[in-house]
């Protein structure tokens, strides 16, 4: 059974820092891995989608990588800003077209 873990559970950094969020999954047979952002009381906003055949995707200050063999994905945020404060979730799409979500990393960027 697929399990997705995100470390750390919470992170507090000063503005301007580059940071890395981690996502681990136990079953490498995934179709894709998607990173989301969730603000308090809101739905999820898609940030980046990496297909299983890809190694990384970039959007602005965000870069996500995928290493299926080691069961890991990382989300890199460059030059963090207070507006980046949110919970970041990763989700892996498996063979039954079900997504398995991690429990998220709660990020706070201090001005």
Of 18 and 26, nearer to another protein (C-beta) is: 26
Binding string to another protein for residues 35 to 74, with x set by CB under 8 A, is what? -x----xxxxxx--x-xx----------------------
Of 14 and 97, nearer to another protein (C-beta) is: 97
The residues with which 89 forms a beta bridge, in sequence order, are 36
Please report where in the chains the tokens 């809101």 appear, as a residue. 42
Contacts of 70 (CB under 8 A, 6+ apart): none
Contacts of 40 (CB under 8 A, 6+ apart): none
Among candidate residues 11, 13, 3, 29, the one with its CA nearest the CA of residue 110: 13
C-alpha span between 78 and 97 (Å, rounded): 32
15 binds another protein (CB under 8 A): no
Q: Which stretch binds another protein (CB under 8 A): 14-22, 30-38, 62-70, 75-83?
A: 30-38
What does the binding site for another protein look like in residue numbers (CB under 8 A)?
4, 31-32, 34, 36, 41-46, 49, 51-52, 89, 91, 93, 96-99, 101-104
């Amino acid at each position: 059974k697929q399990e997705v873990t995100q470390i750390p559970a919470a992170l507090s950094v000063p503005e301007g820092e580059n940071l890395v969020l981690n996502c681990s999954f136990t079953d490498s047979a995934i179709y894709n891995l998607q990173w989301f952002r969730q603000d308090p009381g809101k739905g999820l906003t898609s940030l980046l989608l990496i297909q299983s055949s890809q190694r990384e995707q970039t959007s602005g200050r965000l870069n996500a990588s995928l290493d299926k063999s080691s069961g890991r994905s990382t989300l890199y945020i460059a030059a963090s800003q207070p507006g980046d404060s949110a919970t970041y979730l990763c989700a892996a799409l498996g063979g039954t077209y079900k997504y398995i979500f991690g429990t998220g990393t709660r990020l706070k960027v201090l001005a």
